[in-house]
Amino acid sequence: MVYVDALFIAKGGREWCHMSADTLEELHAFALGIDVPRCWYHGARKGHPHYDLSPERRKKAVAAGAKEVSAFEFVRLMRRLYGCDTNRFG
């Protein structure tokens, strides 16, 4: 399953969300399928494996089947799936 969290205002005043998945293979395949460049990928060095998505790309991900989750649920999923902590608001 692929997940997207709620949009939030990031540094610089732009809206973004995170997209991740149950596996890295699923995440990268899904990103490719919705035309998200691989260079948008952030690995575990950023707290958890994910892509940052703009509001437009988020809509595209949801239309393609990504599950919308709250920020809290997203953090919980990342901890369960990848055993990592996230820096969601930092």
Residues 14-62 have pLDDT tens digits of 999 999 999 999 999 999 999 999 998 987 665 678 999 999 999 999 9
**Chain centre to alpha carbon of residue 2:** 8
Residue 87 lies in a domain: no
Would you state the structure tokens that stand for residue 27, as one six-digit string? 């995440």
Alpha-carbon distance of 57 to 45, in angstroms, equals 23
Residue 56 lies in a domain: yes
Task: Give the chain's domain count.
Answer: 1
Indicate the range of 9-13, 14-18, 69-73 predicted with least confidence: 9-13
Residue 25 lies in a domain: yes
Res. 88: pLDDT tops 50: no
87 pLDDT band, cuts 50/70/90, is low
Q: What residues make up the domain containing 8? A: 2-82
Place of tokens 């919980």: 76
What is the pTM (predicted TM-score) of this model?
0.83
Residue 14 lies in a domain: yes
